[in-house]
C-alpha cells in the first residue's frame, strides 16, 4: 500500500511531518536511488528503498519512545542549539533520537514531551486537532481580577493576529497579583506572555502543567520519565490515532 513519503518518514521516526517535508524540499531524500523532487510523492514502505542523506530509513514497525520532562528555565526546547545553550534532548540523554513536541520558551518551565513518533508529534502540534495546553502563570499585576480574565477569554490582538484563551481562571491571589490558569489550543511563540502583556500584566513565572491528557504530575525540574502505556494510548486517542 502506497503512502505519502513525508508521512512514511514521520512514522519511521525520522522527523515530524513538517520537518520531513523540508527534507524533501532540501533534496535530501532518495527513493530507490532517485532524488525526490515533489512533496506529494507516494511510496510503498514495504517495497521501496528510502534514504535520507544517504542513510537507509527502516520503515518496518519499530518500538516508539515517549518521555515526559519537567523543563527548567534556562533550557531550550530544541534538539540542538547553535548558541550552545543546554537543550531538552541533552537533559534526557536517551539512546534513541528523540525530538520535543512543540516549544516552551527558555524562560518558561514545565511539561515537555519528547518522542520519535513523528505522526503523533504532527497531530499534537497542529491546531486543527484541538489539543489543549495548560499553563499556571504567576502574574505581577496587583489589580488582577475578573476583568483581566474576561479579556483573555474574549481575545486580545497581538502583533501576529488575534489570540484567545480557551479557559482562563484565577487559581489564587496575593499582594503582587496571583496565579492564573490559562488553557490554549494554539501555541504561537511566547503567546501566553504576550497575551498577559496585552491586558497590562507581567509574567513572573510560567509553567506548563498539561499537554492534552498528559499531566506534569510530581516531576521535579530537570527530571524525566518514560510515559506509561495508558498515557501513550490516551495521547494517540486524543488525536485520532490507534492507541
Catalytic residues: 105
- CB distance 190 to 105 below 8 Å: yes
Element spanning 193, H or E: helix 191-198
Rounded distance between C-alpha atoms, residue 166 and residue 42, angstroms: 38
List of E strands, the chain: 3-4, 29-31, 34-35, 42-43, 50-52, 55-56, 66-71, 99-100, 109-115, 133-140, 156-158, 161-163, 167-174, 177-184, 202-211, 214-215, 224-226
- CB distance 46 to 72 below 8 Å: no
Rounded distance between C-alpha atoms, residue 192 and residue 202, angstroms: 10
CA angle 40, 113, 214 (to 5 degrees): 110
- For 31, list phi and psi in degrees, rounded to 5: -125, 120
What does DSSP say about strands 3-4 and 42-43: parallel, antiparallel, or unpaired? antiparallel
Amino acid at each position: 500500500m502506497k503512502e505519502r513519503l513525508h508521512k512514511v518518514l514521520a512514522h519511521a521516526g525520522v522527523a515530524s511531518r513538517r520537518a520531513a517535508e523540508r527534507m524533501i524540499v532540501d533534496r535530501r531524500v532518495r527513493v530507490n536511488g532517485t532524488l525526490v523532487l515533489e512533496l506529494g510523492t507516494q511510496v510503498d514502505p514495504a517495497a521501496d528503498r528510502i534514504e535520507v542523506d544517504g542513510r537507509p530509513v527502516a520503515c518496518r514497525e519499530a518500538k516508539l519512545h515517549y518521555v515526559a520532562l519537567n523543563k527548567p528555565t534556562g533550557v531550550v526546547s530544541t534538539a540542538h542549539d547553535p548558541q550552545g545553550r543546554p537543550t531538552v534532548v541533552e537533559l534526557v540523554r536517551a539512546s534513541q533520537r528523540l525530538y520535543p513536541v512543540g516549544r516552551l520558551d527558555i524562560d518558561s518551565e514545565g511539561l515537555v514531551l519528547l518522542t520519535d513518533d513523528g505522526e503523533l508529534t504532527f497531530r499534537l502540534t497542529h491546531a486543527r486537532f484541538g489539543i489543549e495546553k495548560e499553563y499556571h502563570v504567576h502574574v505581577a499585576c496587583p489589580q488582577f481580577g475578573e476583568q483581566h480574565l474576561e479579556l483573555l477569554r474574549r481575545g486580545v490582538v497581538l502583533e501576529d493576529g488575534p489570540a484567545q484563551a480557551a479557559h482562563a481562571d484565577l487559581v489564587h491571589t496575593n499582594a503582587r497579583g496571583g496565579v492564573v490558569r490559562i488553557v490554549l489550543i494554539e501555541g504561537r511563540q511566547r503567546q501566553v506572555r504576550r497575551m498577559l502583556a496585552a491586558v497590562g500584566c507581567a509574567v513572573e513565572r510560567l509553567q506548563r502543567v498539561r499537554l492534552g491528557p498528559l499531566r506534569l504530575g510530581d516531576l521535579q525540574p530537570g527530571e524525566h520519565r518514560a510515559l506509561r502505556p495508558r498515557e501513550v494510548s490516551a495521547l494517540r486517542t486524543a488525536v485520532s490515532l490507534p492507541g
